[in-house]
Amino acid sequence: MKRGRLKRITSFLLSTALIGSTIVTGTAVNAEESANLITNQSVTGSATYVGTYLKSDYYSAGYTGLEISFTYTDLGTLASDNTTGFNDTFEFLVFDSAWGGWNCTKVGPAGYDQTENLTASDVSEDTEYTVTVPIDTIEDKLSTSNPVQGINLQTGGIGNTAVTINSLKYVTGTVESQPTVLTGAWHKTGVDGDTEEQYGTMNLTSGFANVYANPWNISVSNFSVSTFTTPVVAVTVEYADVTGDPIYPQSEILDSTTYQPIVANYPQVSEGGTVTYVTQIPTTMTSMLLAYDTCTVKKVEIYDEAESYTTAKTNLSTTNITAAVSPCWNLGNALESTSNGETGETLWGNPTINKRLFKQVAAVGFKSVRIPVTWLSAVTVNGSTGTVNTQECDAILDRVKEVVDMAIDYDLFVIIDVHHDGGENVTGKWLDITASNQTGIQNAFEALWTRIAQRFRSYDQHLIFESMNEVMESNNYSTNVSDEIWTNINDLNQIFVEAVRGAGGSNTNRFLMVPGYNTNIDSTVSAGFRLPDDTVSNRLMVSVHFYDPYNFTLNTGDGSTTSITEAESAYIGTQFAKLKTTFVDEGIPVILDEFGAVDKDNLDAIAAYTTEVVSQAQAKGIGYGYWDNGYTGDYGMGLWNRYTYGQTALGERLLPILAGNTAE
């Protein structure tokens, strides 16, 4: 504040003091007021304690500020070491749960945290000054990393000056809810009289809540989720080894007032390990009871599932896209699931997709997610006519958009495709490269991709489109493919590129992926495959899959093997070298967006195989993506249990290799 400006303010204060006016200064909070915390309390001298105000009282109640009104009754001599004069009349000091971290917000006639040295000539007796201080301003000055516990109020460096606090009250504006984390190790004993040493503790790590544990449950109160869009509670527990039959323990959150579960949950638990249960709660909830049996609760997170950590992606090119999207994780057996010509994300045994899954995927180090999508009855091909059923297509797109947004919120790149519409033995298949009515098929393909691209025209380079998946002649897994088949595949890829570019918006700069016959490496590096023409340079990528040797990776019947030979291991490098020579060395990015091996109780062999694929892909400059079908146990490829979000035994073994980029 300029000195001249201060003098004009002072003149105003002195003149209004004659009629006993009230001066309101500081940053106002659009607020309702609480009852007075203090009324007509006189204090004298520097550093005089006034009161303590706990976060448990003001946070969940939604108070956002402290309003203090005061009057000087005797303008004495300021403290000799004071540097801010009467603008240090009061100090709000924040402290943490360990009674540490003290730093102050200074309050005086001109507001809070003013640096001007107000003297006795700048203020007057009998004038009421009112200052409103935002609570988050006070809390932001905590000098430790521990959670805020409360605020102390004391006088500042006012020497022997006497001042009366006419009132101190909370005011209410819009308090932003805080993500809250509890950590510890608690387990239910269910025995009255047991001590904390027996059942354990949970402690506040960040955010705010009051926590009380007893032998029966964990009580969490005085939190606020009122400004969250989709508040959820994620409880991470650890089960000991489960022997014999599965158990069905209580694993749920109870309303503290009704003792009724938010969602009734008695899951089947068949093995030990760490799992996370996610429950959506109402925005009005401020307290709850955690009821979890036969396990140890290790972590509780209260947060907004609408949280987003995304950053804009607009300047990627073929020189850096591979590193940006690799490693990739496939959300397999979800949005591409089919049954009798219909599609549905739970048809193949996986649960409805939850954002928590992408939080886990991003946390371990994956950079992208491939979300396969099947459209089937949303498309109609009738002779030379091919159309999109807009109502069905838009219903699928609505859900695809929700899932895409979940992933992008965690800054993951996303690949979506047309998946089982051309799949082997799929009821309702319409993307048939052997059919005689290619005109109708191509018209439908163009219409579908136009509608997809139009829906996502505003999305930046986070979103990548892949034209199709493993289209092939029935039962022809060889590389002996006719020119006609190659023409049909190449034409579809060209139509895909033109349809997307023609949809406008960010589609003109979007990365597009195109596969060859059956997404097979040998077919794709052959002379039959042609990269489409494009209106923009350096935005095309090639996608391939790799499930060799088949007897090891996928075969569970006759001829199945549980390990690979040295020759089979060497074959991985040979195949990837072909991709490097044909595409990578020519500046064309390649993404191996599917590979993996089913669990045959041979984790050591799968880990060795995965290590070889990852190391060879990295050495050849090829991006790679693991196919996760969500299945756990025998013949599964799931890295997480999608019901509990806990890592499977396969996941615990492979994730350090896949996402951590570290070989065993």
Q: Over the stretch 423-480, which tens digit does the pLDDT of each residue have?
A: 999 999 999 999 999 999 999 999 999 999 999 999 999 999 999 999 999 999 988 9
Residue with tokens 């003013």: 114
75: left (phi over 0), alpha (psi -120 to 50) or beta: beta
User: What pLDDT does 47 receive?
Assistant: 93
- Cβ atoms of 477 and 550 closer than 8 Å: no
Which one, of 269, 423, 250, 466, lies nearest residue 336 by Cα?
A: 423
User: What pLDDT does 438 receive?
Assistant: 97
pLDDT digits (tens, 9 = 90+) for 488-541: 999 999 999 999 999 999 999 999 999 999 999 999 999 999 999 999 999 999
Whole-number Å distance between alpha carbons of 336 and 375: 8
Whole-number Å distance between alpha carbons of 608 and 101: 50
Residue 365 CB neighbour total at 10 angstroms = 15
Name the helix (H) or strand (E) containing 9.
helix 3-17
Which one, of 588, 629, 592, 634, lies nearest residue 610 by Cα?
A: 592
Q: Hey, what are 529's tokens?
A: 């495959």
User: What pLDDT does 97 receive?
Assistant: 85
Pairing mode, strands 231-239 and 180-186: unpaired
Pairing mode, strands 368-371 and 328-331: parallel
- Cβ atoms of 524 and 486 closer than 8 Å: no
Query: Which residues does the annotation mark as catalytic?
Result: 470, 594
User: What pLDDT does 32 receive?
Assistant: 54
Residue with tokens 């200074």: 106
Which one, of 402, 342, 330, 422, lies nearest residue 371 by Cα?
A: 330
| pTM of the full structure | 0.77
Whole-number Å distance between alpha carbons of 425 and 479: 20
170-198 exposure pattern, b = at least 16 Cβ within 10 A, e = fewer: bbbbebebbbbbbbbebbbeeeeeeeeee
Which one, of 640, 650, 644, lies nearest residue 235 by Cα?
A: 644
What residues in the chain have per-residue pLDDT under 50? 1-22, 24-31, 661-664
Range list of H helices, 18-132: 55-58
- Cβ atoms of 67 and 171 closer than 8 Å: yes
- Cβ atoms of 347 and 337 closer than 8 Å: yes
Whole-number Å distance between alpha carbons of 143 and 100: 8
